[in-house]
Amino acid sequence: MAQDTMDAPAQSAEDLAGKGRLELKKVSKAYGDEWEQQLVIDELDVEIRPGDLTVIVGPSGCGKSTLVNLIAGYEFPDTGEILLDGNTVSGPGRDRMVVFQETALMPWQTTYQNIVFGPKLRGELTGRALQQEADRLLAKVGLSEFKHKYPLQLSGGMQRRAELARALINNPRIMIMDEPFRGLDAMSRGLMQEFFLRLFEENRRTNLFVTSEIDEAIFLADRIIVLSNRPAKVRKVIEVNLPRPRDYKMLNSTEAYNIKREAMAILHEEAMKSFKPSGASVKMATPVVGGH
């Protein structure tokens, strides 16, 4: 679901034209009462390089969605700081657009109306200029012929493309993708991965992409950040040096195989910690390499 923030202060296209550098410095987040808190993220240090497609993977329940909410400004860290281009993230804003797993397309509005909703409400683009930009993005995502259709008349893949256009019209510094293709069938998911990758390789907008699928991560990423089991910390940053533009044949390369083997070994080790008896939790503070 593509989400924008209508009460964020207006910024010009020139203000948002640069690449976004995102930094998380010693970020921690816990939930629950003070006497019974669950630490979800523990002093997380992450840098998202401008113009990169950075993919985050981690065991189920490790805090990936919490991390997305913190970066988007929907929640706030208990300690630490989140910076975008050197400025502290203090709430939601259109410099960070999120595409979630579930759709946020308003069912009573057409594809076109959904895409123009944010800029139109803020009054930043009007009349012919707004129509031209919306039509340009509709053509870019292959939905020109479906601009007057309602979301329920679109396939899952078409809805995902409309979500991308709805986010891109806001010209964000960084796109945050929270497992956006998770609910699609295998064929639609593969097509959306290729489509999304072409969009990225065309404009090199900073992207943070969260996924549970290693093949998807390798196919898309410039870098893969592997998170530990809860509380989340960075276990490993893996550079993906596959050339661009990419195609699926690259997943059969030795480089891709080695990346997958390394990432899967770490993820398996971290996931197994969830199955340890609760009394063993203290022992698991330091991972044992090579054993479970």
pTM of the model: 0.84
| Edge-to-edge strand list for the sheet holding 234-239 | 2-3, 96-99, 174-178, 206-210, 53-57, 223-227, 234-239
What pLDDT shows up at residue 278? Answer: 53
For residue 30, pLDDT over 50 is answered with yes
- pLDDT tens by residue, 98-129: 998 878 899 999 999 999 998 888 877 678 88
User: What is the pLDDT of the chain when averaged over all its residues?
Assistant: 86
Whole-number Å distance between alpha carbons of 259 and 262: 5
**Residue, of 17 and 199, whose pLDDT is higher:** 199
Q: Percentage of residues in the chain with pLDDT exceeding 90?
A: 65
Residues 280, 74 contacting (CB under 8 angstroms)? no
Cα-to-chain-centroid distance, residue 218: 15
Q: Residue 252: which residues within 8 A CB-CB, separation 6 or more?
A: none
Whole-number Å distance between alpha carbons of 145 and 142: 8
For 195, the token pair is 């489509």
Walk me through the domains of the chain, giving residue ranges and CATH numbers: 2-9+16-285 (3.40.50.300)
Task: Band the pLDDT of 5: cuts 50, 70, 90.
Answer: very low
Interstrand relation of 53-57 and 206-210 (parallel, antiparallel or unpaired) = parallel
